[in-house]
Amino acid sequence: MYVLDTDHCIELLRDNPKIVLKFRSLHKDTVLYTTIITIAELLYGAYRLPNPQERLKEVDAFQEDIDVLGLDLAAARVYGRLKSELAQKGEILTDNDLFIASIVSSRGLVLVTHNSQHYKRIIGLKLEDWVK
């Protein structure tokens, strides 16, 4: 099971041929998720546009077609641990990226992202990039 990071959601909304092809090649039982953090980032991007209405409709339709994972206590615990571990190493990861990684990690899922550099510091987090 896969969790799409914000960059892959954007590419899917733009009908990027690589993402669309990968999406179509998945087994019919494959479940795709995204996170509430990603939905918030997509909404933020829409509201930054001069005329956000069309993009807001796209985001609304997208979130109806995909399961959206929220932040729960298990993910919050992972977040606290990971943020502490990174701080002890002097490394920083934005809170949004850390929340996404925590949601994915706490459920043992695979994060689909083009931002591997951001996430590779998190030991045990499974990553795939469908844009490459």
Residue 28: predicted pLDDT? 86
Per-residue pLDDT 10s for the chain (132 aa) are 999 999 999 999 998 999 888 888 998 889 999 999 999 999 999 999 999 999 999 999 999 999 999 999 999 999 999 999 999 999 989 999 999 999 999 999 999 999 998 899 998 999 999 988
Predicted structure pTM score = 0.93
Residue 45: predicted pLDDT? 96
CA trace torsion 124, 36, 97, 13 (10° rounding): 100
Q: Going by DSSP bridges, is the β-strand pair 2-4/126-128 parallel, antiparallel, or unpaired?
A: unpaired
Strand order in the sheet with 126-128: 67-69, 32-35, 2-4, 110-112, 126-128
Residue 24: predicted pLDDT? 87
Residue 117: predicted pLDDT? 87
DSSP 21-56: HHHHHS-TT--EEEEHHHHHHHHHHHHTSSS-HHHH
Residue 113: predicted pLDDT? 96
Range of the domain at 82: 2-128
Question: What letter would DSSP give residue 74?
Answer: H
Query: Hey, is 70 helix, strand or coil?
Result: coil
The two three-digit tokens of residue 77, written as one number: 């615990």
Q: Contact, 5 vs 113, CB < 8 A?
A: yes
Domain count, the chain: 1
CATH number for the domain spanning 72: value is 3.40.50.1010
